[in-house]
Structure 1
């Protein structure tokens, strides 16, 4: 294995590359999604769940692995630590570095790599400002400057400041699979039928000493200080020599940087200066300094550490859609005297067409923005169709347009929010929310719009004066937005059937995903009366058996096709329990896992988590805990455990390769959910969680005495 000993990497930094030697050396890597140790060979790209024989194994670093990733928008490489969640521009010292592309040749490696990249992208935008400051500080020190904060600002650094964070990673890929043995055709043929009687950290606080906040994306610098593309003028004339010091901050040797301040913007100024005018969507961030002026001095770009400390306060204030519109909507005037159109009117429903984009977009996008608004009006029934056509075809065109032109995504969401505000037509309002839910399920909003969009949805959920269908649809849309931001955007256009189900039915029914078992059991149509269990669960298990899922390789471990999983989910959300044409049991198994993991309360309530972890090895004790649970939780756990017991029978296990330990790894998070979010606690308790589920599988009574 070849070590790169350049000054950039440090003497003890090891980055795997095509030039590396010793192809028999493997690494232990931690999969944060399944909590499984994966063995990988960075040179050959091979990955395996099993420990390779005859190979040299490099133990995993308890401090986490460093992955070399790339910001897809800027093309600049950065480094991400899987344990601490830190991101760095420069290669970390005394570390082993794994390039993202090194493991892409195998299915297991590709899935692991995309999971890591997905998690890193969530952290990267918040870490970007702090990482850039450290990068500038090190560069300054290497050039012989004693001050870490300097006025040196290169064209590259200015570009970085103006670019937003990297988008989410691509959807996960399929992993390798293992064979499973035959299983009873239906639940009635198995003992499972007897269950009728009874589921990032960001940087550490030590960054505070550096005078910078690690949770400020650089995109916010441009959004909230008036620094926009084209705002930095005469960049080639920026002074590269004068260091920052109290004596020369206001001297004539300042970088020649001009910041554009919005005209006629007294509303913005008063908004920045009045903290009480804002609703706080998330918990406030503590800071030693506060923002005092909406106008950034010319030296602010070179003094990012001081400036970034106060930006999160302003970011947390800009939460409502009205606040977002005040900053990002283009100014509109009308009448002979060209009076300015009030913001409240700009964000309210209208039957009139648009004459330009709502947002401050280039003129090149105005025509598309106008066409999108006309499409929105047609789908909502506020504009007649000139040449026929269907809503589904209009929506497919819209989704395809947004996938090709991401610049128009926030414009489209803004147009929809406008048409859903103060809309007097109930039918138009309902169709508009259906369209909003289709978008929320497929198109991810930008990071600048995301908090305001969630606030808009939350206000609709909590409003007492809204129709019931608005409450249901808003709650549905919120879940879709949050899931899309976790999983990443979809890569394909939904089918006509899927669009119609979301547009007309799914959002307006009581939810079956993301709620508790008790909530589901409140609705008779969601209950399987035979088993006294959620109908969705018994339907999916029965479907797995009918599709010969127990003969399929890696059932419950290999993910199904994402689009098919999503289509099946939409059908169930819309109350359609038909699965004609579905042949892949992995799709059904994946949806069952998804439903269990999204339960708002795990199968074992969170208040019993510590007790279960502490007594995980005492199977008699944990069986007693299960019997003390609410009845629906007992029946659900019993139903699943009996399914697992049938799966690991000796006559099946030789073919399935699925042991009690394997199943405990997969379903552990569904049974026990750590109420503490710190990574250290999660990693310490993971083994106990798995032992808990494993003991349930091994010791749960296979037959319950009938009373």
Structure 2
């Protein structure tokens, strides 16, 4: 193959968003709206066939994007103009794409009717690294197709060190406030698809069929089938391989694809396998994805997505499989639901609602981790209803209040918090040893949680104050966003570090005063409530001092945003100190709905 001679440093690229041209240096990654002076520039070839060369940093593989056909290829095209955009991909365009997608995601995150955006292909928390340099005309680059098919594509790497000065949106570089150059949407989708295919090639087992034992293509392996499977889809330890066909039979029964039709007990059995055997979790997810792909029966799809809604609140996929699953759910509605030939409009709308819910809960459980126990039948039934009847658990305070305002507009605090706190006091929690330290009966706590989720705010036969106390702690800890927002976390740590010094009380409450209104009211309510529990007259009985209560509740008020274990450990004492300051010195808000001390 004749080698392409590159005798230019700059290229002219058309911005797909504005159709305006900008200029990029293929060596440094620098971009500019203004045409560089005294530079060798390759102008746009309107009539010719140009390809962009992009790069997968994890595996050292280039791939190629055709500007005219919007197709992506592994193999280096012959007799074509190749534009090496690797340096730009690793800097400006990567950053621009990331920012653009994040802005879109934030804008549409809570809109049920907005189309789901493809995930950002670039991780803002990725470790900074220098741009990759490769020989664009080497045999390795020209013959990377086979390697690409076996290893796949992963996230390109951002060069954050040069992003500011190279980004055309930087104040020094941009001519006006127009949208920065970004990659075409087709290319974004192709990159995401490469990630999915790349994972499949790396982690899926090879299946063979027929007399000649020919390899089953992945695209046929990962679609709905009526028959049973004999081997797992993914690479599993030998002792777990026999479990995969059992899981598949359960999924077929739950979705109505195999007799007898599955019940909630079958879902419970499937969840138990995933919770008790971490290595089976990805297998269960991919088996379900298989049965959701090209499934001809709309009723089966509805049951399958109800199952997905329960699984994504029970255990997460592995970090390796996380990106695959997120992409599968995000792309499913457009790829499978809209063109489905047998689903009516009502069924499609129902599926859309469940899919959006599953996407939201999947992102959440990927952060929080798996449940510690197998869900009860009531919890499973509640999980299937959740897409259509929002829970008061695991949601944001704003969402909880939005639903509550439709029923009780005059109550300015979450009803569940008020109900549980007053239940603790009514059941003589102030005179119960170990209140908030001793856990309530697990089955009773679960029963009360399901009752509350059904809008039944009564204790029934519960007499133990540790039950509502345990559920109150769980509700706070399970909020989708921390009670004190992450943006205010470091301020709280700084105040806690100065416990005992002059002005700390005022500084602590000044932070609370600037919180969102609902967060402020909840903090004040809980502080007033904890002051009642921490009363010195109660401590000889409860054995719960101010320090003990602060230790128990600090993680429910503050969540360290760092993943560094040392930072988390070091900040713990300051989180507790901050809460001690608040409890010791009252609140800043007189709440008529607040808890009252029990009568002596």
Please report the TM-score for the alignment, with normalisation by the length of structure 1: 0.48
Give me the whole-angstrom Cα distance separating, in 2, the residues matched to 1:365 and 1:674: 37
Task: Specify the alignment match of 1:379 in structure 2.
Answer: 254
- Give the alignment partner of residue 538 of structure 1, picking from 418, 427, 449: 418
Give me the whole-angstrom Cα distance separating, in 1, the residues matched to 2:280 and 2:566: 41
Give me the whole-angstrom Cα distance separating, in 1, the residues matched to 2:546 and 2:334: 44
Give me the whole-angstrom Cα distance separating, in 1, the residues matched to 2:539 and 2:495: 28
Q: 1:637: how far off?
A: 1.5
Task: Specify the alignment match of 1:354 in structure 2.
Answer: 229
- Give the alignment partner of residue 510 of structure 1, picking from 354, 371, 390: 390
Q: 1:410: how far off?
A: 4.0
Runs of 5+ consecutive residues of structure 2 not aligned to the other structure: 1-126, 130-143, 162-190, 339-350, 593-600
Give me the whole-angstrom Cα distance separating, in 1, the residues matched to 2:238 and 2:574: 59
Task: Specify the alignment match of 2:148 in structure 1.
Answer: 270
Q: Is the contact made by 1:550 and 1:656 (CA closer than 8 Å) also made in structure 2? A: yes
Please report the TM-score for the alignment, with normalisation by the length of structure 2: 0.55
Task: Specify the alignment match of 2:360 in structure 1.
Answer: 475
Q: Is the contact made by 1:518 and 1:632 (CA closer than 8 Å) also made in structure 2? A: yes
Q: Is the contact made by 1:644 and 1:697 (CA closer than 8 Å) also made in structure 2? A: yes
Task: Specify the alignment match of 1:393 in structure 2.
Answer: 265
Task: Specify the alignment match of 1:638 in structure 2.
Answer: 524
**Distance change (3 Å), C-alpha of 1:632 and 1:591:** same
Is 2:527 the partner of 1:652?
no
Q: Is the contact made by 1:501 and 1:571 (CA closer than 8 Å) also made in structure 2? A: no
Runs of 5+ consecutive residues of structure 1 not aligned to the other structure: 1-204, 209-265, 287-315
Q: 1:515: how far off?
A: 3.8
Task: Specify the alignment match of 1:625 in structure 2.
Answer: 511
**Distance change (3 Å), C-alpha of 1:667 and 1:370:** closer
Task: Specify the alignment match of 1:418 in structure 2.
Answer: 290
Q: Is the contact made by 2:524 and 2:589 (CA closer than 8 Å) also made in structure 1? A: no
1:39-438 to structure 2, matched below 5 A, reads 269-271=147-149, 277-279=153-155, 322-333=197-208, 340-359=215-234, 369-385=244-260, 391-399=263-271, 409-438=281-310
Task: Specify the alignment match of 2:401 in structure 1.
Answer: 521
- Give the alignment partner of residue 591 of structure 1, picking from 458, 461, 471: 471
Q: Is the contact made by 1:357 and 1:370 (CA closer than 8 Å) also made in structure 2? A: yes
Q: Is the contact made by 1:319 and 1:451 (CA closer than 8 Å) also made in structure 2? A: no
**Distance change (3 Å), C-alpha of 1:479 and 1:267:** farther
> 1:673-692, CA deviations, whole angstroms, 9 ceiling, x for partnerless residues?
44445455545544443333
Q: 1:620: how far off?
A: 2.8
Q: 1:424: how far off?
A: 5.0
Give me the whole-angstrom Cα distance separating, in 2, the residues matched to 1:375 and 1:572: 30
* Greater RCO (Cα-Cα under 8 Å, separation 6 or more): 1
**Distance change (3 Å), C-alpha of 1:499 and 1:611:** closer
**Distance change (3 Å), C-alpha of 1:681 and 1:479:** closer
> 1:488-510, CA deviations, whole angstroms, 9 ceiling, x for partnerless residues?
x53xx5433333222x3135443
Task: Specify the alignment match of 1:186 in structure 2.
Answer: none
Q: 1:704: how far off?
A: 3.3
- Give the alignment partner of residue 671 of structure 1, picking from 554, 557, 560: 557
Give me the whole-angstrom Cα distance separating, in 2, the residues matched to 1:569 and 1:283: 45
Task: Specify the alignment match of 2:181 in structure 1.
Answer: none
| Structure 2 residue matching 1:522: 3-state secondary structure | helix
Give me the whole-angstrom Cα distance separating, in 1, the residues matched to 2:489 and 2:279: 45
**Distance change (3 Å), C-alpha of 1:268 and 1:432:** farther
**Cα RMSD for the two superposed structures:** 4.4
Give me the whole-angstrom Cα distance separating, in 1, the residues matched to 2:489 and 2:320: 37
- Give the alignment partner of residue 699 of structure 1, picking from 582, 585, 590: 585
| Structure 2 residue matching 1:700: 3-state secondary structure | coil
**Distance change (3 Å), C-alpha of 1:535 and 1:347:** farther
Number of residues of Structure 1 aligned to a counterpart in Structure 2: 403
Give me the whole-angstrom Cα distance separating, in 1, the residues matched to 2:583 and 2:512: 13
Q: Is the contact made by 1:279 and 1:319 (CA closer than 8 Å) also made in structure 2? A: no
